[in-house]
Amino acid sequence: MKLIVVTAALSLLATNAMAADLAAKPYVKAPPVVDPVWSWTGFYAGLNAGYSWGRADTTIAPIALPFPATQFGAFGRNVDGWLAGGQLGYNWQVDPKWVVGLEGDIQATGERWSRTVTTTSARYGSNIVGIPGGTDFNSIATLTGNLSYDLQWFATFRGRVGGLSDPQTLWYATGGLAIGEFKYSSATTLGIQVFGPGLGGTTPLGAFNFPIGAGVSTTDTRLGWTIGAGAERKFTRNWSAKLEYLYMDFGTKTYFAGTANQADVSFHDHVLRAGFNYAFTSTPVVAKY
């Protein structure tokens, strides 16, 4: 019996010694837990529509004439209209509060403007066809310009940077390059109304019209810059809606240089539009504990 007890004790000691020599059981970390939060990183595309308030400031060059016609002055005109188009971009959510990205868009517009501008001279001594210098008749010269200006389409290529007021709502600033296609048309006419008899006569005796600037039209693509701001909110992981304002400036261009239709036209625009985006690669943010 003593031999059995001693043998059992030795066996227990050997087992404890072997267990002490074994490595500790490795710690297995719990798998990451996915929080129900929103990610802004990835490609997106969408559509938009809105309205635009443009301004074309125009200066028509003086016209050399043998008649004492009053020259056109500088004037501005509103070029307003609807717009609609689409956008494509990519966002990087650099941390839980900040998003940066790149976006390009293209818009068709209904921004159109047309105007007839006129100037009228004082009465001057003339001959029967209105040429100045005579004393038997007097005339009034009227200078008329028929003008139109259209922004047919524009595109922008911009950077975006913004902050998240909550995981679903982005407030951002944006700016970059603007490209627009414009159409400008002009036709200038000189009209002479002759009166008589003599320098003080007021009886109409004849009218003459001279198309000194034949009707011309041109379409050109102009480069400019844009800056703006907006807000965008996700209402699912992939779908979001946005409201955006842009200011665009296309500088000044000279049209029909060296002709009776020569004019300098500067153009800037205010754009307000609403739209929606679909995010193709939106993924949840993984939080590790």
Q: Position 42: which residue type? A: G
- pLDDT bucket at 18, cuts 50 / 70 / 90: very low
Per-residue pLDDT for 123 more than 80? yes
- pTM equals 0.80
Alpha helices in the chain, H assignment, sequence order: 2-21
Give, in order, the Cα–Cα distances in Å from 263 to each of 125, 187, 190, 212, 220: 31, 11, 17, 15, 15
**Rounded distance between C-alpha atoms, residue 249 and residue 55, angstroms:** 10
- Provide the 8-state DSSP code for 134: -
Task: Select from 145, 260, 136, 146 the least CA-distant residue to 206.
Answer: 136
pLDDT tens track for 65-117: 889 999 999 999 899 999 999 999 999 999 999 999 999 999 999 999 999 99
Determine, yes or no, domain membership for 23.
no
Determine, yes or no, domain membership for 128.
yes
Determine, yes or no, domain membership for 214.
yes
Determine, yes or no, domain membership for 21.
no
Domain that holds residue 231: 39-283
Question: In the prediction, which pLDDT does 38 show?
Answer: 85
Q: What's the number of domains the chain is made of?
A: 1
Question: In the prediction, which pLDDT does 35 show?
Answer: 38
**Rounded distance between C-alpha atoms, residue 179 and residue 223, angstroms:** 5
What CATH number corresponds to the domain at position 253? 2.40.160.20
Highest mean pLDDT out of 60-69, 133-142, 222-231: 222-231
Task: Select from 218, 228, 226 the least CA-distant residue to 257.
Answer: 218
Determine, yes or no, domain membership for 51.
yes
Burial class (CB in 10 A: 0-12, 13-18, 19+), 111: buried
Determine, yes or no, domain membership for 193.
yes
Sheet strands (E) in the chain = 33-34, 42-60, 75-95, 98-120, 124-126, 137-166, 169-196, 203-234, 239-255, 263-279, 286-287
List phi, psi (to 5°) of 50. Answer: 180, -150
Determine, yes or no, domain membership for 113.
yes
Burial class (CB in 10 A: 0-12, 13-18, 19+), 138: buried
pLDDT, average across residues 125-138: 92
Determine, yes or no, domain membership for 19.
no
Per-residue pLDDT for 283 more than 90? no
**Rounded distance between C-alpha atoms, residue 65 and residue 6, angstroms:** 135
**Rounded distance between C-alpha atoms, residue 216 and residue 228, angstroms:** 35
pLDDT tens track for 175-213: 999 999 999 999 999 999 999 999 999 999 999 999 998
